[in-house]
Structure 1
Amino acid sequence: MFDCDWCVFSESDLEQARHQVETNGVSGIHNFLVEKTKKWKFVKINIGIAGESAVGKSSFINCIRDITADDNDGAPVGTGDTTIEPTRYWHPYNEELVFWDLPGVGTPKYPRNEKYFDLINFEKYDFFLILSDNRFSTNDVWLAREIAKRGKRFFFVRTKIDEAMENEQEIRGGDFSASAVLDKIIKDCQNNFKVAQLTDTSVFCISNYHREMWQFEELMEQLIVALPEMKRMSLVLSIGPVSKQVIGQKTKFLTDRIWQVASISAMTAAGGSVVPVPLLGGAIGVAADVTILLHEVDFYLKQYGLNDESLKQLADRTNTKVDYYVKSLKFASTLVTKRQSIKAFVIDMIKKEAVKQAEKRTFQEFARLIPIIGMAVAGGISFGTCYYFLRKTIQQFETDAVAVVDAAIRKTSEELD
């Protein structure tokens, strides 16, 4: 029996594919699938970052974009200047994802009334983050109430937790307890909200420089949930693997698109490109556009932070060497330590997977499962091989990405002890 617990071909997907065949013939499926794999890049997301001056807004914007203040388009940090106009910062991987540094409310130019929301163009934001490095001010609380009244989500974020921990440790010495300090900070914030008659409100305690610690992961989980499906996908695939929660969401969205990429590769190669695979008693040919698969694997490496650039950025941010993280890699290590080319990696994996699928004869099940796609590819073996190769690669890279995050947590914990 064909095991397809995780390979989901929705009725909507298949219906759209049938429509393409009826309207444009079999050749229409290719363009349809290519457009689906790129659709997330064209979804606009605007996130408002509010709070008073010097509370860490710029540092947060840089942190979530995986850049520093010294990089091109980095938000300036430590200038002491008050934001006087909404300032936008695009994500370097997706210009449709924009973080807005908003001016504080309660000034002559931005009064605490209806005018403020007109001046910041309130309606364009998907949700708001309200940041503070101490107690949330009356202006912060007023803003939260007004945002909720207008039907949008907001999140309170308490920054500079690393500094708070260091201060408490210096004061308490041997009696210091990180969990007790965190509980105290959260309770103080909630009491502040209660006095202001703002109920059922959570606060996320983070450090913009040690995002592996404290509640950055919980914050990211809530930000993802706050968006509708397509915007959620766009956010997850635009930002780096900033937490295990984000890594898990990346795996979900990358897995959902496997059948599209496998179909594109098999269709594109149907007229020519064949990877020969030796088998006992003969050989088979897998029609696969290797260039498409190379691009997808390279995309996975960037998504999971396993490429050279991402590992170097992480090493720099955590004050260690790249080798420290390379030691955590199990599956992607050949691409880093042995400098195996992505092309060699892909062809080797395709050959191994083709042998497995031919022996299981799962290609026949694929042809039965998706007859519309089967019309356009050079046999089920080609589609099935590409499909399982991509699925296995995602699983392996996810494992490596989690191992790297765990290594970063250990490294950060050592520094803060």
Structure 2
Amino acid sequence: VDLSGPEKNRLPETETRDQPKNVPLNIVITGESCSGKSTFVNAFRGIDNRDEKAAPTGTTETTMEVNPYPHPNHPNVTFWDLPGIGTTKFPADKYMKHVGFEKFDFFIIVSSDRFKENDVRLAKEIQRMEKKFYFVRSKIDNSMRDEERTQRDFNKERSLKKIKDNCLQEQGLKSPQVFLVSSFDLQLYDFHLLEETLERELPEHKRDAFLFAMPNISREIINKKKKALHSKIKYFATLSSAVAGVLIPGLSIAVDIGLLVGVVKQYVYKFGLDIKSLQSLANRAGVPLKELKEATISPLTVFAQSPNQITLKAVEEGTRFIPIFGIPTAMALSYITTYRGLNTFLDMLAEDAHRVFKKAMGLKPPM
């Protein structure tokens, strides 16, 4: 869905005050140098490593400062790529003070091998501050390929368990949560478990902000987004109804059109169906952008061709000036029209998101 124009990088102003665009969420990605932190940051934000806004990656330590990376569609959600703990410039004994840990919501400690003494020391400091942390064992796709090449009786589940068990061997942490992740294939391994855990353990007022920042790596995430967006439809329908009670010719239709367009834009961004998000997905999945765009349809075109919606708006406009019963009738019709319209658009865009997901994953080479 092409939303190009002067407002293409902004979410519409029809958000309510309690919606997730105004809730800040600060997520730390940290760990030892060269562990894949920056690639994980980019994957979490749904962008390719080659994107101009991507966190720089490389085979040497590329993160030398505390770098914020806002989500491209949800700038209230910021991923902080921190320097590797224990590097020459940032020794472990000065690391906590340097990065200012108190301002962050939760911490993801990344390692491409076993978690080392510095990682555990960092985890204990986070625990002391009574904040949440999660261990992510990165580059698991590479490890599994090595296991398959070197084991005569290779068993995927057994190898994954062995890798997880070895991550924190003899490090003195009780029952830590460890998630096995491939940043290039988030739909594989434990990323869905990480997503579910983070969503469950976040404060309630920050869960939607986190959910909408998630890339569409599963049908479950798309359905969760749809459910969260559906819960706000009554608010917009009530707003439309209130405007319908004002005796100014044409005002209700003008406001409703603006409201519908603004809310549909929200849906497009939150389902990752805008052109930039589709292009990033195409790059990551190795799928032509054209094929992803062909999996989507324009809800605004369908609305313009919907006789039921047009008829209801015409009736609403005509009944507003009928004595006594006109205003209540117009308000009720406006509520119904907006509610039905947004439900229709939400269903359509959720289906678009499912089709795009299927297209991207279906054409992606199997691991």
Are the equivalent residues in 1 in contact too, given 2:285–2:361 (CA < 8 A)? no
Q: Does 1:398 align with 2:365?
A: no
> Which of the residues 306, 309, 321 maps onto 2:288?
321
Letter in 1 for 2:106: F
Letter in 2 for 1:260: Y
Letter in 2 for 1:64: F
> Which of the residues 291, 306, 328 maps onto 2:273?
306
Count the aligned residue pairs. Answer: 341
- If asked which structure has higher relative contact order (CA below 8 Å, sep 6+), I would say 2
Letter in 2 for 1:119: H
> Using a 3 Å threshold, how does the CA distance of structure 1 residues 178 and 393 change in structure 2: closer, same or farther?
farther
The alpha-carbon deviation at position 71 of structure 1 amounts to: 2.3
Letter in 1 for 2:200: V
The alpha-carbon deviation at position 253 of structure 1 amounts to: 2.1
Counterpart residue number, 1:371: none
Are the equivalent residues in 1 in contact too, given 2:30–2:81 (CA < 8 A)? yes
> Which of the residues 210, 217, 221 maps onto 1:246?
221
User: TM-score when scaled to structure 2?
Assistant: 0.81
Deviations 1:96-152 (A, max 9, x none): 321111223335654444x43222111101000000111111111121122112200
> Structure 1 regions of 5+ residues with no counterpart?
1-32, 276-285, 336-341, 359-373
Deviations 1:248-269 (A, max 9, x none): 3322321121112223344446
Trace 1:115-126 onto structure 2 (pairs within 5 A). 115-126=94-105
Structure 2 counterpart SS, 1:75:
coil
Trace 1:208-219 onto structure 2 (pairs within 5 A). 208-219=183-194
Q: Does 1:351 align with 2:308?
A: yes
Q: Which moved more, 1:262-271 or 1:315-324?
A: 262-271
Letter in 2 for 1:316: N
Trace 1:6-405 onto structure 2 (pairs within 5 A). 34=14, 36=16, 39-78=19-58, 80-81=60-61, 83-107=63-87, 110-113=90-93, 115-172=94-151, 175-189=153-167, 192=169, 195-268=170-243, 271-273=248-250, 289-322=256-289, 324-325=291-292, 329=295, 333-335=296-298, 342-349=299-306, 351=308, 378-405=330-357
Are the equivalent residues in 1 in contact too, given 2:267–2:346 (CA < 8 A)? yes
Give the Cα separation in 2 of the matches to 1:145 and 1:334.
50
> Structure 2 regions of 5+ residues with no counterpart?
1-12, 316-325
Counterpart residue number, 1:368: none
> Using a 3 Å threshold, how does the CA distance of structure 1 residues 198 and 406 change in structure 2: closer, same or farther?
farther
Structure 1 counterpart SS, 2:174:
coil
Give the Cα separation in 2 of the matches to 1:130 and 1:237.
22
Deviations 1:35-89 (A, max 9, x none): 6257422222211111111111111111112223332332111151353332221
> Using a 3 Å threshold, how does the CA distance of structure 1 residues 306 and 100 change in structure 2: closer, same or farther?
closer
Deviations 1:343-365 (A, max 9, x none): 3322334725977xx9xxxxxxx
Are the equivalent residues in 2 in contact too, given 1:263–1:377 (CA < 8 A)? no
Percent of paired sites with the same residue: 34
> Using a 3 Å threshold, how does the CA distance of structure 1 residues 346 and 205 change in structure 2: closer, same or farther?
same
Counterpart residue number, 1:3: none
User: TM-score when scaled to structure 1?
Assistant: 0.72
| RMSD, matched Cα | 3.2
Structure 1 counterpart SS, 2:79:
strand
Are the equivalent residues in 2 in contact too, given 1:287–1:378 (CA < 8 A)? no
The alpha-carbon deviation at position 325 of structure 1 amounts to: 4.5
Q: Which moved more, 1:92-101 or 1:401-410?
A: 401-410
Are the equivalent residues in 1 in contact too, given 2:14–2:263 (CA < 8 A)? no
Give the Cα separation in 2 of the matches to 1:353 and 1:238.
34
Structure 2 counterpart SS, 1:221:
helix
